[in-house]
Amino acid sequence: MVPSFRTGNSPSIIWGRTLTDHRDKLFDHSGAVEDFVFDAAVARVFPDMISRSVPGYAAIINMIELLTAQYAQPETRLYDLGCSLGAASLAMAAGLAYDGCEIIAVDNAPAMLACARDCLVDIPHPVRLVDEDIRELFVENASVVVLNFTLQFLPRGDRAGLLRRIRDGLVPGGILILSEKIAGETPEADTLLCEMHHAFKRRQGYSDLEISQKRAALENVLFPERLSTHLDRLNVAGFRRVDTWLQCFNFVSIVART
C-alpha cells in the first residue's frame, strides 16, 4: 500500500491506488438493513464509498490543502475531527508551509483509525492519530480545524457545544472548515437536492437498491440540517465571518473565521 500525500481530483490521488481498488458493494442486497457503523467492512471500501457518494468531495479535499496553505500559522495545531482514513489530514500536511505545527487527527472508530494509520505514512508533516470522541476533545492553539462531514453524525443537541469549544480553541485569524450534508430550506428544495444526489450516485454506478438500502442504514445515524441552521449556529458560537465556499447539491462546505 503506497498512499500519496498529493491531493487531486480522484480518490486514488488522495489515498493511493491500492486503497481505492476496493469497490463499495456493501448495500447491494435486499432485506432488512442495520444502522450504519464505521466498522472494518466500511473502512475497507471507504475511499470508493465517499468519493462515489459525496458530490464535490475531491474538490473539498483539494481546497483544504489550499486553505491550510493560506490560514495555517506557525507553532499552532491543525485538527482533523472525524478523520476517517485521514484524507483531510493528508491535504493539510500537503498544504502546511511551517515546521513546528502539529496535525492531530481524531476519530472514535477503531477500524477507521487502523486504516488511517496505514495511510498516514511518508507524508511531509507527521499526523498524530487520536482515538477519542470529538465531544470530549480539548481544542487549543488551533489555526485550522476541519470537520469534514462529521458534525452530521452527532446528536443535534451536541453540536453547538462542540462548535463553541472549537471557536474558543482557535487562535486569532484561525478557521474552521465545516462540510456537511444538508437538508433543503423548503420541502421543494429538499426534493430537488435529494433527487440530484441520487442521480449523482446512479451516475457513479450505484443501483437504486444500493441507494435506498444505504439511505435506510443512515436514517437513524446521520441527521442533516438546513444550511441556514448551520450558519446561525456558527454565528452564535462566536465566529466573526461565516462563508459558504462550496455547494454541490445537498453537500456544502463553509469557512468560519475568528
Tell whether residue 62 is a contact of ligand GEK (CB under 6 A).
no
CB atoms within 10 A of CB 195: 12
Report CA torsion sign: 7, 12, 18, 20: positive
Tell whether residue 231 is a contact of ligand GEK (CB under 6 A).
no
Contact pick of 107, 182, 224, 231 for ligand GEK (by CB under 6 A): 107
Q: Which stretch binds ligand GEK (CB under 6 A): 2-10, 20-28, 108-116, 193-201?
A: 108-116
Checking DSSP bridges between strand 225-226 and strand 102-107, what pairing results, if any? unpaired
Nearer residue to ligand GEK within complex by CB, 76 or 150: 150
Tell whether residue 92 is a contact of ligand GEK (CB under 6 A).
no
Nearer residue to ligand GEK within complex by CB, 103 or 109: 109
Tell whether residue 96 is a contact of ligand GEK (CB under 6 A).
no
Site for ligand GEK in 36-55 (CB under 6 A): 38, 50
Residue 165: is it exposed, middle or buried by C-beta count within 10 angstroms (0-12/13-18/19+)? Answer: middle
Paired with 103 in beta bridges are 78, 127
Distance CA(14)–CA(137), nearest Å, equals 27
Site for ligand GEK in 110-169 (CB under 6 A): 112, 133-135, 148-150, 153-154
Q: C-alpha distances in angstroms, 14 versus 21, 82, 111, 123?
A: 13, 17, 19, 12
Nearer residue to ligand GEK within complex by CB, 1 or 240: 1
Q: Which stretch binds ligand GEK (CB under 6 A): 5-13, 93-101, 105-113, 202-210?
A: 105-113
Minimum Å gap between C-beta 34 and ligand GEK is 16
Tell whether residue 109 is a contact of ligand GEK (CB under 6 A).
yes
x/- site string to ligand GEK, residues 70 to 89, per CB under 6 A? Answer: ------------xxx--xx-
- On the CB side of 164, CA atoms within 13 Å amount to 8
CB atoms within 10 A of CB 194: 16
Amino acid found at 30: S
Distance CA(160)–CA(141), nearest Å, equals 20
Angle subtended at Cα 161 by Cα 155 and Cα 166, rounded to the nearest 5 degrees: 115
Residues that bind ligand GEK (CB under 6 A): 38, 50, 82-84, 87-88, 106-109, 112, 133-135, 148-150, 153-154
